[in-house]
Every structure is written in C-alpha cells, then in structure tokens.
Amino acid sequence: MIDAILNYEFMQNALIASLLAGILSGIVSIITVEKKLTMMSGGIAHTAYGGVGLGYLLGIEPLIGAAVFSVGASFGIGYLRKRGGASVDIIISMLWALGMAAGVAFIALMPGYPPDLNSYLFGNILTTTKVDIITMALLTALAVLLVIVFFGDIRAYLFDESFSAINGLYVRVIEYSLLVLISLSVVVLLRVVGIVLVIALLSIPAACSALLSQNLRNRMIISSTFSTLFCVVGLTLSFYADIPSGATIIFVASLVYLALLAYKSISEKIIKRD
C-alpha cells in the first residue's frame, strides 16, 4: 500500500479522498441518524442521478447537475416533512425512482455512445481528481467549522427541536442548512461509494458510535474515526484484491458494525449474569 501511494498519483488522490470522506460522512451520518433522515438521504442520492444525466446531456460537470438536483430534492422533502402526513414517504419514494428514471432518459437523449455511469452508481474512489479533492476538502472544512461554531445550537436542534424553537433558536435556518450539508455530502460521496451505496456510509458510522457512546461530541469523533477507517481499509483491500472500492468499503463498514453489535450483546449478557 505504501509503495502504491508513493508511486501512483491516483492512489495518493484516493487516500486523501478516503480521509476527507471519512471525516465528512462521520459528521453528517450523526445528523441523518439522529433526525431519522436516513431514507431521505437515500432518496436525495438517487435523485442526484438525474442531475448526473442532465450534466452529461448539457455538457457540464455531472456533479454540478447532481448538486442542483440534490439540494432541490432536500428542500422539497424538508418542506413536506414539516407538513406531516403519510405522503412524505410516498414523495421520497417517487423522487427516488424519478431521479433514476430522469438520469436514464437524459443519457438516452445524448448523441453518440452513452458514457459509463458505473462510477456514479457504485463509486470508484480511484478516479478521484485534484478538483474532487479540493471540493471535498472545502466541504469537509465547512462541515467541521459549522459543527464547532454552532455545536450548541445543533445539539439542541437534534435532541429537542420544539423546545429549541420556543427558546428563540432559528430552527428553520439550522434545519435547511443541515439539509444542504447532507445534499452536498451525498454528491461528494458519489465518488467514493456511489449512489446505490451512499446511504450506508451516511448511517453505519453513526450506528457504530451509538454502540460506544451517548455523548454527541464523542459520537461525532468516534463516527468520523470509524468512517475514515472504513474508507482507508476498504481502499487498501480493494487495491490488493482488485475488486470495486465502493463495495469493499461498505463490506468493511457492515462487518465492523456487526462485530460491535455482537460484542455489546455478549458484554450485556455477561454483566447481567454477574
């Protein structure tokens, strides 16, 4: 692994992307899990596919199209969540399918041979470019800065939204800011694990941290640590085994979570016996 990093620029880019993606997804996964936005994140990710297809059709950067579609979907779903009702799940499901259908349709309208979109569907961190790294670095820095500066407000919003609003907290501003952060995180993580698997990286790290701590600050640190570990170990295994990096990262994440879950279950049984 060290030789590969020293000798190949694409591996250097992939490793840096793994570190940034780990920190970013670790923080954002806490937000999605605490506010029960996991399925919404999946819907946003699949809606982004329509933006990818539109980007190719218009001849612009596909991730720009994905960002526009993702942010638009998050605002729409966020608004409908506040209105309540069973229609929210239906809308998320509809956007989930509509985004994929739009992507397929836009690609079909392109003249000539259609591009290979497997890297957007299942991720390929080895294709990460310098521009991708700069984008990931800026978004990761923004996420960390927001958490540090507004940690008290974010914690209040996550645990008791109604009480926070009564106390004069700008709940709507925080809510939509976090929705934009989730949307842009989804776009960034498309390079790492792809549209199909992004929902796992926005939930498993937070689930792992919940098994080890109940303190929000500690959970964010633990979640980011686990997520970084998943990405780096998955990248290493995929390189040597010559298998897709996105799938390998999720395999590693799932196995670690199941191991922690089993360990906690066994530990609790031992404590009860004693």
Is there a domain that residue 116 lies in? Answer: yes
What per-residue confidence (pLDDT) applies to 224? 92
Is there a domain that residue 226 lies in? Answer: yes
Q: Which two tokens stand for residue 214?
A: 């109940």
Mark the ranges of the chain whose per-residue pLDDT is less than 70: 1-6, 83-87, 163, 274
Is there a domain that residue 266 lies in? Answer: no
Is there a domain that residue 273 lies in? Answer: no
Domain that holds residue 119: 2-261
Q: Is the dihedral of CA 260, 257, 176, 18 positive or negative?
A: positive
Within 10 A of 149 (CB to CB), how many other CB atoms are there?
Answer: 10
Is there a domain that residue 271 lies in? Answer: no
pTM of the entire structure?
Answer: 0.85
CATH number of the domain bearing residue 93: 1.10.3470.10
What per-residue confidence (pLDDT) applies to 221? 92
Number of structural domains (the chain) is 1
pLDDT digits (tens, 9 = 90+) for 216-263: 889 999 999 999 999 989 988 888 888 888 889 999 999 999 999 998
Q: How far is CA 179 from the centre of its chain?
A: 12
Is there a domain that residue 149 lies in? Answer: yes
What per-residue confidence (pLDDT) applies to 175? 82
Q: What is the Cα–Cα distance from 127 to 190, expressed in whole angstroms?
A: 11
What per-residue confidence (pLDDT) applies to 144? 86
Reported as type and span, the H/E element at residue 214 is none
Residue 268, classified by CB atoms within 10 Å of its CB into exposed (0-12), middle (13-18) or buried (19+), is exposed
